Amino acid sequence: MSRIVPYKNSISEKSKSAPADDSDTSLVKVLSAIEPLAQICQTQPIGYVVELGSNEAADKHLAQARQCLSQLAKNSVWSTEFVNPDYTATEDNPKPDYTNQCGYLIMGVHTALDNPSLGELIKTTKIIEKQIQNEFFEAQKLSQLDVHSVIHNMSEPKNRRVIIDIDVLAIKTADNELIGIAERYPFKHHEWVGLQELHQKGHLE
C-alpha cells in the first residue's frame, strides 16, 4: 500500500513574488541533467517527481490527485502545500491563488523493467486530471443555475478555474540520476521550493 505524506503551508510574501533563480547552485545541483521529453519518453524510471496545482477546492482536488498517483507507485512522499498567486492574473482578469505541491513517486528501487515509461505515466496523469475534472463538473450540474449565474459563467474568463493540474517535472533513473524534463524547465519558484524540500528531506537520494 502506498504511503501518502501530505503537509500544508504558505509561501512567504517575499517568496510569492520572487522568481526562481536558475543560477542558484543549491537548487540546480539537485538535477543531474535536463533532457527533452522526446529523448527520454520511453525511459522506465524508478521514480518520478510530479507537481500538483489547483485553484478550485484545492484541498479536495489535491487529495484526490495524491491518492490516484500514489496507487501507481510502491511508495510516495509529498512536499508542503504552497499557496501562491497566479502570475498570469491582471487587474482586468483577476484569478484565484493556486495551491501547489511536489511529490515523489517511488516506482521500484531494484529494477525499472516493470515500471511505466515516462510517456505512459504522463498519459495516466492526464487521465487522472480528466477524471477529477469530470467529477467536479458533473457535481455542479446537479444544482440548477439561475439566469444570473448562467450569464456570469458565460462572461467569466475561461482560464480562471483550474480544477487540477498534474505535471511530471523530473525522473529518477536506475543509475540514480535525477533528470529534469526540458519542456518543464526552467521550473517555477514553487516547483523549485517543493523539489528542494523533497531533496533536503532525503527523499530523492
The whole-model pTM stands at 0.76
18 lies in some domain: no
27 lies in some domain: no
151 lies in some domain: no
Q: Domain holding 101: CATH number?
A: 3.30.70.560
Distance CA 51, CA 193 (A): 11
174 lies in some domain: yes
107 lies in some domain: yes
In this prediction, residue 152 carries a pLDDT of: 55
Distance CA 3, CA 18 (A): 32
Distance CA 114, CA 50 (A): 20
19 lies in some domain: no
Q: In this predicted model, what pLDDT tens digit does every residue of 13-61 receive, in sequence order? A: 333 434 344 434 455 578 999 999 889 988 889 999 999 999 988 999 9
2 lies in some domain: no
Average pLDDT over residues 138-163: 57
**How many independent structural domains does the chain possess?**
1
By residue range, what is the domain housing residue 178? 32-85+95-145+157-200
- Kindly tell me if the per-residue pLDDT of 106 is higher than 50: yes
Q: Rounded to the nearest 5°, which phi and psi values hold at 34?
A: -120, 120
136 lies in some domain: yes
Mean pLDDT of the chain: 78
Q: In this predicted model, what pLDDT tens digit does every residue of 63-99 receive, in sequence order? A: 999 999 999 999 999 999 999 887 777 888 888 889 9
Distance CA 23, CA 34 (A): 14
Question: Could you give the residue ranges of the DSSP H alpha helices within the chain?
Answer: 13-17, 25-28, 37-40, 58-70, 118-141, 147-155, 189-200
Residue 52 exposure: Cα atoms within 13 Å on the Cβ side = 34
How distant, in Å, are the alpha carbons of 33, 59, 128, 183 from that of 163? 31, 11, 11, 22
Element housing 78 (H / E): strand 75-78
Given a contact cutoff of 8 angstroms between Cβ atoms, the answer to whether 61 and 163 are in contact is: yes
